[in-house]
Structure 1
Amino acid sequence: MAGASSDSLAAARQALEPTLASGGLQLARDLFSTLDVLDENGPLRRALTDPSWTVERRSGVLRSLFSGRLSEQALQVLTDLAGRRWSGERDFGDAVEQLAGTAVAASAERDGLSGLDRLSQELLSFHHVVEESHEVQRAITDQQAPAQSRGNLAERLTGNGSEEVRLLVRQAVENPRGHKPAELVRRFAAAVAGRQRQWIADVTVARPLSDEQQRRLAEGLRRTFGRDLKLDVTVDPALVGGVRVKVGDDVVDSTVATRLHDLQRKMAG
């Protein structure tokens, strides 16, 4: 999402923060439930993003479709989005999905930063389970199986996970909207980390790290990148060099690579 759509989403997120924070999981469920309608109805998407339509007309369309089916808070979110500018018609649905994810994160945040940290870790753990098993990948993407059955399997894979993680993984598996479910779960995890004002650092190591080594690595990366990072650690015995770090789309350049070698020496004590 870029241009006008990115600006509109950022503005909507800020304007709707009180609603997203108080709406809880019911608000998230309501918003997620609208995505099928939005994704399958091209004329509706075009109407909601057509700048020649007045805001009142767009809001009226939404209320005629969803009034009585959604909470007033969910309608408030949708009508706010309908009053903003979008670069592409599909960006509207993407914005709804992202704000639903924000509502889930806000629900976890009621337990403080520990709740956000728990949810982020649960999502990353689910992502690892899926990525490490071709059998699981096939099962949760099998279009011959009912969506609800795939969602039930995803929930079971979270073990005793929170209600928030169960909702997000079920959404990712039942309605991935063109993405791989594991990829969408990873995006949800990044959004949760963002609410903690953190980035996720994908760390690949040749050998498992002790708790102390992870602490040292996290501290060193914080100094290197200038902000707190949440480590998502994967072990790959074939890795040459011992450790590789990727943050977002940034490529680790030679200068940072040198710093990482310094970190490795420090981690070794």
Structure 2
Amino acid sequence: MAVQFSESSRSRASLHTLQSELEAVIAAADLTVADELFSALDVLDGSAALRRSLTDPAREQAARVEVIRSLFGQRAQQTTVQVLGAAVAQRWGSERDLGDAVETLAVTAVAARAESRGLQGLEELEGTLLSFRRAIADSHELQRAFRDDQAPASAKQQLAARLSADASAEARLLIDRAVTAPRGLRITAVIERFAAVIAARQDRWIAQVTVAKDLSSAYLERLSTSLDKYFGRELKLDVKVDPSVVGGIRVQVGDEVVDSTVASRLNELHRTIAR
């Protein structure tokens, strides 16, 4: 999971650490955890004093985590409290960055639920979000309706439901969140942020294969079977022909790279000689 919204290098590093540490926790979380993380985000966004307290580098890590336990320990699942505790244990470049990280983790939890249906689940979730975004972007009337501060949240949710009647539970949670709590952004921008997290999750299911020349269908079938077994899931192959790889094959799935090209081996040889 490599999506980051923060401009701070410190915050980007903290988010990357969080995403790695919480991968198994997030993958096992249900939609209630995502909903509770969004509710916790509302609490953070509503209190500047709380945000300062939880991002103060002079305050002990244990003290920051204890604040989370005292606030949410009795009203949220243990998994939610664990995720929030891990978030405040990190260092953040700004108060806003902590909230952005919690938002990212909430969206990731939603994406993980869709991912239980494989790549198709993620593609359907992203497709629903982007379809909803297009509907809003193409209508000034809808934009005004969702920007109306006097309109109750329930009315915005009902309007959103009419625009996305076939949305899954995961898509419904994210769409409702976007229209009721955009955090000062345009709804279309919020949807784009959510879709970026889902797209990063999809990368885990797409094998980007680079070869020097076209492969036969029989070879591709054998390669697909081997890669599925190696990565432990059914992958979708995205094959690119690039003569510069000289020979062999390069496969990238998410952040993991398997490279057996001649070019790669030559580069490694050059690095060895230069030492």
Short-chain TM bin = 0.7 to 0.9
What are the residue-to-residue correspondences of 1:32-51 with 2, within 5 Å? Answer: 32-51=38-57
Match of 2:147 in 1: 141
C-alpha deviations, 1:209-233, integer Å up to 9, x for none? Answer: xxxxxxxxxx999679x999xxxxx
Match of 1:247 in 2: none
1:173–1:221 distance in 2 versus 1, CA, 3 Å: farther
What are the residue-to-residue correspondences of 1:219-258 with 2, within 5 Å? Answer: none
**Which of 168, 175, 182 in structure 2 is aligned with 1:176?**
182
Match of 1:195 in 2: 201
C-alpha deviations, 1:26-57, integer Å up to 9, x for none? Answer: 11000001122101111111111111111111
What are the residue-to-residue correspondences of 1:1-269 with 2, within 5 Å? Answer: 1=6, 2-197=8-203
Letter paired with 2:188: A
C-alpha separation in 2, matches of 1:221 and 1:137: 40
Letter paired with 1:122: T
C-alpha separation in 1, matches of 2:189 and 2:176: 13
C-alpha separation in 2, matches of 1:89 and 1:223: 45
State the 4+ residue runs in structure 1 displaced beyond 2 angstroms.
219-224
Q: Given that residues 140 and 151 in structure 1 are in contact (C-alpha distance below 8 angstroms), is that contact kept between their aligned partners in structure 2? A: no
C-alpha separation in 2, matches of 1:142 and 1:221: 47
SS at match of 2:25: helix
1:220–1:53 distance in 2 versus 1, CA, 3 Å: closer
C-alpha separation in 2, matches of 1:155 and 1:94: 25
C-alpha separation in 2, matches of 1:197 and 1:220: 11
C-alpha separation in 1, matches of 2:168 and 2:241: 32
Unaligned runs of 5+ in 2: 1-5, 205-236, 243-249, 253-275
Q: CA RMSD in A?
A: 2.1
Q: What is the total number of aligned residue pairs between the two structures?
A: 207
TM-score normalised by L of structure 1: 0.73
Q: Given that residues 12 and 80 in structure 1 are in contact (C-alpha distance below 8 angstroms), is that contact kept between their aligned partners in structure 2? A: yes
Match of 1:266 in 2: none
C-alpha separation in 2, matches of 1:127 and 1:120: 10
Letter paired with 2:45: D
How far the C-alpha of 1:3 sits from its partner, in A, is 1.1
Max radius of gyration: which structure?
A: 2
1:192–1:11 distance in 2 versus 1, CA, 3 Å: same
SS at match of 2:203: coil
C-alpha deviations, 1:112-134, integer Å up to 9, x for none? Answer: 00100110111110011111111
1:129–1:8 distance in 2 versus 1, CA, 3 Å: same
1:227–1:121 distance in 2 versus 1, CA, 3 Å: farther
TM-score normalised by L of structure 2: 0.71
C-alpha deviations, 1:39-91, integer Å up to 9, x for none? Answer: 11111111111111111111111111111111100000010011111000111
What percent of counterpart residues are identical?
45
How far the C-alpha of 1:155 sits from its partner, in A, is 2.3
Q: Given that residues 141 and 150 in structure 1 are in contact (C-alpha distance below 8 angstroms), is that contact kept between their aligned partners in structure 2? A: no
How far the C-alpha of 1:156 sits from its partner, in A, is 2.3
Unaligned runs of 5+ in 1: 199-218, 229-269
SS at match of 1:34: helix
